[in-house]
Amino acid sequence: MKAVLPVALVAALCAHGAFAGDVTGAYVGLDYSRFNDDSAGTFSKTSLKGSLEYGFTRDFSVQGDLAMMDFGLSNADASTLQLHGIYHASENASVGAFVGRDDVEGNGFNYVGLEGGFEQGKLEGEAYVGTADSDGINGSLLGLGVMYNTSDSFAFGASHDRLDVEGFDASRTQLEAEYHMDKVTLSAQIGTIDIEDAGSEGYFGLGARVNFGAKRGTTFERRGLLEVIPGL
């Protein structure tokens, strides 16, 4: 049942008459990532995700994100739920605030932060900074990413994300490529993640998503601790 939630969320809201003309974008997608030297395939992550953005006016909108994740190591169920409040300062720039929660088998982190994004010609990017807490354990998260659209079909980019949570620090750097065909986006990632006391490890990822409305679906990417950690 959990696996169909992101798809059901987007499909139901897009079809509902109360949202007619006000849903500015949405997407559903599937991601997979795995560490490079994991020949057994046990250190992997599969994510089923959905996102929807609802515009109150031309300048203000809210975006909701939902993802369900399965970890190959322990078959643990995990989920992330986020809400963004967005102000579109111009046709090329948006700023916002986000809140969210990550859960793994009933244990979770709450987080809140600020974000911003821009599009200028063939270049687009976004950045965020936030704080996280869980039962007295505090931390911070931040990230920066850019994409360059070489054509209407191809885009290449890079991103860096960092978690500084009490007892768990991690930083991730990745390169990404996207191929766009009509409303479908296919993506591939390679990168490294450095986890405190565990060293650095390379990984790869693959993804596919179907966009509705705006070209990229919704304004901002998903945030959170579970989004930063690949194949674990």
- Residue matched to tokens 């966009």: 211
**What's the pLDDT band for 75 if we cut at 50, 70, 90?**
low
The amino acid occupying position 128 is Y
The mean per-residue pLDDT over the stretch 23-48 comes to 83
Cα 151 from Cα 121, distance rounded (Å): 11
> Is the pLDDT reported for residue 1 higher than 60?
no
Per-residue tokens: 137: 């354990």
- Give the C-alpha separation, 81 to 66, whole Å: 5
Tell me the average pLDDT across 72-95.
88
> In this model, does residue 14 exceed pLDDT 60?
no
Residue 82 has pLDDT above 70, yes or no: yes
Identify any residues that bridge with 71 across adjacent strands, giving them in sequence order: 45
Q: Which of 67-71, 72-76, 81-85 has the lowest mean pLDDT?
A: 72-76
Alpha-carbon distance of 91 to 74, in angstroms, equals: 45
pLDDT beyond 70 at 119: yes
pLDDT band for position 19 (cuts 50, 70, 90): very low
Amino acid letter for position 217:
G
Tell me, what's the pLDDT at 5? 47
pLDDT at 34 over 80: yes
First-last CA distance in the chain: 23
Instruction: Give 186 or 201, the one with higher predicted confidence.
Output: 186
Answer whether residue 93 shows pLDDT above 90: yes
Alpha carbon distance 126, 215 (integer Å)? 16
**pLDDT by residue (tens digit) across 104-114?**
877 788 999 99
State the chain's mean pLDDT as an integer: 85
Q: Give the closest residue to 130 by CA, choosing from 174, 84, 99, 168.
A: 99
CA-wise closest residue to 209 among 22, 29, 51, 60:
29
pLDDT in tens, 139-163: 899 999 999 999 989 999 999 999 8
Query: From start to end of the chain, where are the E strands?
Result: 23-35, 44-55, 60-71, 77-88, 93-104, 107-120, 123-134, 137-149, 154-165, 168-181, 184-195, 199-213
The reported pLDDT for the residue numbered 42 is: 59
Q: What is the sign of the dihedral through the CA atoms of 102, 12, 27 and 46?
A: positive
